[in-house]
Structure 1
């Protein structure tokens, strides 16, 4: 009964005191077209992305942008012909100018993506752009995406405008796990708090980040975050720490085309960075496991126990907590156009995330943590020791 009451109190707080994280109406802020359109360079780090590039790169090449814009795709040591495919697609589709670069293997203390990003930003700076669009190789943009991002940044005076790309939800496992991934992210980093000047909350979605070049230089991006596994959040924190005004919301014009058809694929996506999110702290891991259990699992357990044992207090507290939990998840399911009955399975998904987080810690302590596309990244302090 007492655990159920704690869970209910937690959900009542999350409902009204966590920046209304569960609402999905935060899209690009009000915007108007500028009198003159600033120049933009698009930087796309890419490693072994030949499978998704035919669906994503043409969407960038075909941007309907009134100002000067060009694309720098940085081939991060691909073994599947990513760079050659990018050149072929540019010749076939035309559109914005494309430059394909390759920085070589990252030195110690750098993640591969950020090393590629550094190379792309260096190439872009020769064009003196006012903005940089940092986007992943699996992200597809509607033709007016860049135009709307720039208009929003200019109208709101933002140094960073980021959109959480709509992830793919075709398979059974994607439907179960993906909307919850965004829901949990928004719970950790309430979008409404991010845009408040002076607030400590800062985050971005790495698939789509429009960044003012001046703000990037002031925050020493990407050098200042070169070891970050969760690079999008680190980037936003660095920009905000230097006085930058940032914004993050859900996307209508930006979609991820990367498939995660199996549970194994989604498990790897989450577990590769979950323990890094906890700063590799065993204490934070224990606290997170207990917190997930009390907040997400306890209501269902209390509800069943109350029914079986006739404990009315546990039944009511557990039932109310589960009701609030389910209600806060429904807007995210609507955003992803998924059946609303999936909301009752949120505790099952939370259990999966709990297990993924524990697995992330286990893999880290076995020396296989933060592994992605053939690379394994040590903790930042270990990387510095190696240097």
Structure 2
């Protein structure tokens, strides 16, 4: 009797999961599509001045792969690079100066004052770089591990000028060289897009606002109108906070996938990918135990229950249960396929998404545990509460 009741509950839950996937596939901003690329653009009539601000803390490992791509930008207007060496211990600043000796855009290497209370290290470095940039038209805020194609800055500025955008952000392509990277990275971008559907974020007046911190071009006037970097000084998820600040003051924002902007940072081991996700996952939930519980339940219902229902239905001979579970799993895999194609991964790996979701669920719980232990949002030797 108890077993029959359990199967009945599972059957109804599988129906709810299937309905959820029908909504996600058809109505949730088409989050699973990968066609949000730089909008149509034409060469601007003027040549706005751009300052490229790169916060860098202990980045000597990746800087030779990223900084030369910025120095080699083919931008027709005035542009320069400001690398803010955030008190590195590995010679980041000296290496940057050495890399600039081959020519290219002018490079300024600077160090900010000691980190004050209430600021994250990255945002304090960005503030210092933005102040040093002065009265430029645009600021490209880009991470030290991001390599840009030669026309990246020109295309970003053209997109902003042609479409009246105040913030143009691209989700950099992440490395997918190892088995763990191939399993986790495409899902990372997929989940981000599910949380912040790009189409909704790009819609003027919509409540959804998001950006990708690795590559965000912002008008200086729009940034000042939003209160500058100081307005988000304590944000751990600084990219989304920046987009919200710009959009809340009437600015137009745009976010999409990149074609010539790539992260060169390797995450070869699961532990490194785990920390990348867990350091900010609980912050995303506003450190709320209630939201954490809802997230765990939601992930379980949407991602873990369909394969469980399918396997249970097949093993017990309940065709209806197997059908609803299988249909939900098929929809799940189908919506994941475009992201796998974007990352040039085999289609069959879409069936592994429930396992990847289980890993993300565990990372999220671990993020909360680390926060409760006082070690949440730790990065580069600093811990932010």
- Give the CA deviation at 1:221: 2.1
Task: Give yes or no for the alignment of 1:349 onto 2:356.
Answer: yes
Helix, strand or coil at the partner of 2:351: helix
User: Any stretches of 5+ residues in structure 1 without a counterpart?
Assistant: 379-387
What do you get for the CA RMSD once the two structures are aligned?
0.5
What's the counterpart of residue 52 of structure 2?
42
Moved more, 190-199 or 111-120: 190-199
Task: Give yes or no for the alignment of 1:80 onto 2:90.
Answer: yes
Provide the aligned length of Structure 1 versus Structure 2. 375
- Give the CA deviation at 1:238: 0.4
Alpha-carbon deviations, 1:66-86, whole Å to 9, x = none?
000001100111100000100
Helix, strand or coil at the partner of 2:297: helix
What's the counterpart of residue 126 of structure 2?
117
Cα distance between partner residues in 2 of 1:87 and 1:232 = 27
Alpha-carbon deviations, 1:256-311, whole Å to 9, x = none?
00000000000000000000000000000000000000000000000000001111
- Give the CA deviation at 1:158: 0.1
Q: How does 1:221-260 map to 2 (within 5 A)?
A: 221-260=228-267
Alpha-carbon deviations, 1:169-216, whole Å to 9, x = none?
000000000000000000010111111111000000000000000000
What's the counterpart of residue 268 of structure 1?
275
Q: Under a length normalisation based on structure 2, what TM-score does the superposition of the two structures give? A: 0.97
Helix, strand or coil at the partner of 1:183: helix
- Give the CA deviation at 1:17: 1.0
What's the counterpart of residue 62 of structure 1?
72
User: Any stretches of 5+ residues in structure 2 without a counterpart?
Assistant: 1-10
What's the counterpart of residue 217 of structure 1?
224
Cα distance between partner residues in 1 of 2:20 and 2:293 = 18
Cα distance between partner residues in 2 of 1:356 and 1:206 = 21
Cα distance between partner residues in 1 of 2:227 and 2:260 = 29
- Give the CA deviation at 1:312: 1.7
Q: Under a length normalisation based on structure 1, what TM-score does the superposition of the two structures give? A: 0.96
Helix, strand or coil at the partner of 1:198: coil
Alpha-carbon deviations, 1:109-164, whole Å to 9, x = none?
00000000000000001xx1100000000000000000000000000100000000
Task: Give yes or no for the alignment of 1:134 onto 2:150.
Answer: no
Cα distance between partner residues in 2 of 1:234 and 1:348 = 30
Alpha-carbon deviations, 1:331-368, whole Å to 9, x = none?
00000001111100000000000000000000000000
Helix, strand or coil at the partner of 1:35: coil
What's the counterpart of residue 106 of structure 1?
115
What's the counterpart of residue 306 of structure 1?
313
1:13 to 16, 19, 23: 23
Task: Give yes or no for the alignment of 1:318 onto 2:325.
Answer: yes
Structure 1 runs of 4+ aligned residues shifted over 2 Å read none
